[in-house]
Chain A
Amino acid sequence: NAGVTQTPKFQVLKTGQSMTLQCAQDMNHNSMYWYRQDPGMGLRLIYYSASEGTTDKGEVPNGYNVSRLNKREFSLRLESAAPSQTSVYFCASMSRSQGGPNYGYTFGSGTRLTVV
C-alpha cells in the first residue's frame, strides 16, 4: 500500500545513546516532515525538508539532526538521547504539485521512543 513508512515502531534507549529514525514515502511527494507528539502539547515540528536537498529547522530542533537522503527518504537522528526526548515521533509527507500546501499531509504510523 502506498504511504509513509516509519521504522522502528518502538524503541527504548539509554541516556546518551544514539539512534536514527527512518522514514520513507512512495507517493513521489516533495516535502517531508518530522513531528513529535507529547501529551497536552499536540504535534510540534522538529525539522522539515521542503524539497530534496533542503532541510530547515522547525519549532523544536535542539538535540536532533536530519538527512534527506533522496526524494523518498528522510531520517531523524538523535546523537545523544535524553529523557526529554521520550515521545512519539511522526513523519509526514506532502506533494507540492497537487495543490500545494492546501493538499494536506500524509502521516506515518509513528515511532514510540522511550529514553531511560
Chain B
Amino acid sequence: AQSVTQLGSHVSVSEGALVLLRCNYSSSVPPYLFWYVQYPNQGLQLLLKYTSAATLVKGINGFEAEFKKSETSFHLTKPSAHMSDAAEYFCAVSDKGTYKYIFGTGTRLKVLA
C-alpha cells in the first residue's frame, strides 16, 4: 500500500531563514505527490503538486518542491520564511489510476521573529 512519511512533526525557523520540510513516499512507481497547507481552524489548501512533468515544482506563496526518484522524496522548501508561513503542512500521495490520497502526519512550522 502506498504511504508517505513526514520527518519532524514540528519545525522552527527564524524569519528570513530557509524552510525545509521533508516528505518521503513508498512506491516503486512514481505517484502523484502534493503538498497542502492548513492554517489554524481552516481546511487544507493546495500548495503545489507533482504530476510527472517537471521534477522541480513551484507553488503558491514562494514554496517549491523537488521530486527525487532515487531518494523517493518530495521535500518542500522556501528560501526565506515569513511569519505568515506558520501553519501545518501535509504531504500527500496518490497512486496513478486511483482517486484516493494518502496523507502524511503533518509538520507544524513555527516561524520565530
B48 (CB) vs chain A CBs: closest residue: A104
Contacting pair B43 A58 (CB below 8 A): no
Interface positions of A from 22 to 52, Cβ below 8 Å from B: 31, 33, 35, 40-45, 48, 50
Contacts A58-B100, A109-B42; is A102 near B32 (CB within 8 Å)?
yes
A71 part of interface (Cβ distance < 8 Å)? no
Contacts A58-B100, A104-B34; is A42 near B90 (CB within 8 Å)?
yes
A4 (CB) vs chain B CBs: closest residue: B43
What is the number of contacts between chain A and chain B, taking CB atoms within 8 Å?
59
A104 contact set on B, CB distance < 8 A? 34, 46, 49
Contacts A48-B100, A109-B42, A109-B43; is A102 near B94 (CB within 8 Å)?
yes
Per-residue contact bits, chain B 2-20, to A (CB 8 Å; 1 contact, 0 not): 0000100100000000000
The complex places the Cα of A42 from the Cα of B103 at a distance, in Å, of 6
- Which of A42, A99, A102, A108 meets B105, CB within 8 Å? A42
Contacting pair B49 A102 (CB below 8 A): yes
B46 (CB) vs chain A CBs: closest residue: A104
The complex places the Cα of A62 from the Cα of B20 at a distance, in Å, of 36
A105 part of interface (Cβ distance < 8 Å)? yes
Per-residue contact bits, chain B 97-113, to A (CB 8 Å; 1 contact, 0 not): 11111111110000000
Q: What's the tally of chain A residues with a CB closer than 8 Å to chain B? A: 27
Contacts A48-B100, A94-B99; is A40 near B9 (CB within 8 Å)?
yes
What is the interface of chain B, defined by CB distance below 8 A to chain A?
Answer: 6, 9, 32, 34, 36, 41-46, 49, 51, 90, 94-106
New A-B contacts (15) at CB < 8 Å, excluding given A100-B99, A101-B99, A102-B49: A35-B103, A40-B106, A43-B44, A44-B103, A45-B101, A58-B100, A96-B99, A99-B51, A101-B94, A101-B97, A105-B44, A105-B101, A107-B36, A109-B43, A110-B41
